[in-house]
Structure 1
Amino acid sequence: MGICHGKPIETQQSERENPEFPNEVPSSTTTTNPTKPSKFPFYSPSPLQSWFKNSPANSNPSSVSSTPLRIFKRPFPPPSPAKHIRALLARRHGSVKPNEASIPEGSECEIGLDKSFGFAKQFSAHYELAEEVGRGHFGYTCSAKPKKGPLKGIDVAVKVIPKSKMTTAIAIEDVRREVKILRALTGHKNLVQFYEAYEDDENVYIVMELCKGGELLDRILSRGGKYPENDARVVMIQILSVVAFCHLQGVVHRDLKPENFLFTSKDENSMLKAIDFGLSDYVKPGLAYSLLSYFCCFINREYKQLVVTIRFSFSDERLNDIVGSAYYVAPEVLHRSYGTEADMWSIGVIAYILLCGSRPFWARSESGIFRAVLKADPSFDEAPWPSLSADAKDFVKRLLNKDYRKRLTAAQALSHPWLVNHHDDMRIPLDMIIHKLVKAYICSSSLRKSALRALAKTLTVAQLAYLRDQFTLLGPNKSGLISMQNFKTAVLRSSTDASKDSRVLDYVNMVSSIQYRKLDFEEFCAAAISMHQLEGMESWEQHARRAYELFEKEGNRPIMIEELASELGLSPSVPVHVVLQDWIRHSDGKLSFLGFVRLLHGVSSRAFQKA
Structure 2
Amino acid sequence: MASISAGEDALVEDLLAGRADVSGADRHGNTALHVAAAKANEAVTASLLRRGADATVKNADGHSAVLCARLGALAPALRLSSAGGWAAKEILTVKVFGKLDSRTLQAGEEVWRCPISKDCWTGSVSPTTPRNHQVAAILAQAAGDAYSLADAVEGAWLAGQAPPMKNQDEVHPAIMHAILLLVQVLQKELLAALEARDRERLTAGLEMLRYAKVAQLPEEEPAIRTLVAIELEAAIGARNELELKQAVAVAIPQNIWLSTDSRTRAEDRVGHISVVGRYHRLPSRLEDDYFVEKKALGTGYNGSVLLARGKNRAGKFAIKAFKLHGVSKEKKAELASEAEIFLSMDHPHIVRLFDVYEEEDRLSLVMECMEGGELFDRVREKKIYSEKDACKTAWMMLLAVNYLHSAGIVHRDLKLENFLYERKDGDFLKLIDFGFSKVWAKNTKMELSCGTLSYAAPEVLAKSYTSQCDLWSLGVIVFILLVGYMPFAGNDERKQIQMIRSGHYIVKKDRWAKVSTQAADFVQKLLVVDPDARMTAPAALEHPWIKNLDHANSDCIDEAMVTSLCNFAKSQNFRRSCMKLMAWSLTASERSQVREAFLELDKGSTGTITAADFKKVLEDNFHIPELQAETVFNAIGDVEHDEIHYSEFLAAMMASRISLHDDLLKDAFRRFDTENTGFIRKEDLVLVLESDREATQVMRDLDVNHDGKISYDEFICYLKSGGADDDALEAAERAISKEIISLNRPEDEPKLRKRDKLKGMFAILSAQQYDQTSARLYKHAVDALHAVLEEKRVEQMGRQLADAAARGDLEMLHSLLQAMCFV
Task: Give the TM-score band, short-chain normalised.
Answer: 0.3 to 0.5
The answer to which structure has the higher helix fraction is: 2
| Greater Rg by CA | 2
Which TM-score applies when normalising by structure 1? 0.46
Which TM-score applies when normalising by structure 2? 0.35
